[in-house]
Amino acid sequence: MNRILPYPVLSAALGVTWLLLNAPPTPGSILLALMVGLAVPHVMRALRPRAVRVRAPGLLARLAVIVLYDMVRSNIDVARIILGLRRGERRTGFVAIPLDLREPFGLAVLSIILTATPGTLWVQYDSDTGRLLMHVLDYTDGDAWIRRVKDRYERPLMEIFA
């Protein structure tokens, strides 16, 4: 069974998603859903993703609360900028952040956090130097952004995935 369905949950999720996206179900879409559900997990098995090891699940929950708070606050700030309530104060810019985090899963989570938070965008990461280039919609002080990313996100991610 493991050879036919190496990732059964992934197979089921892909098949159901395919059918939902191609509603109403027809015999052809059912056949394609079955093919996608069986083929894609075999490609994933060839990639052999390594298991994620979370060392501090409590800290992960705390980080999730921090990220949700930052997203709500950023949504309000971006809405104020778009609606013109902060006229003349906005200045966009790029911030280069030297990261100590090297764990691939930690970097992936950090990229998701920064890109999903309104007003910030992960632009580029240089794995040789560990420098992250981030675009900020409301650029005020580069050092403040560096401290924010390192203290609020990078440090907890290093403890969670290290």
Answer for the pair 57, 154: CB distance below 8 angstroms, yes or no: no
Give residue 108's pLDDT: 93
pLDDT value for 89: 63
**Closest to 120 measured CA to CA, from 147, 139, 143, 144:** 139
Q: How far apart are CA 45 and CA 12, in angstroms?
A: 16
Q: For the chain (length 162 residues), average pLDDT per consecutive 10?
A: 80 93 92 92 79 88 96 91 74 93 93 93 95 90 91 96 80
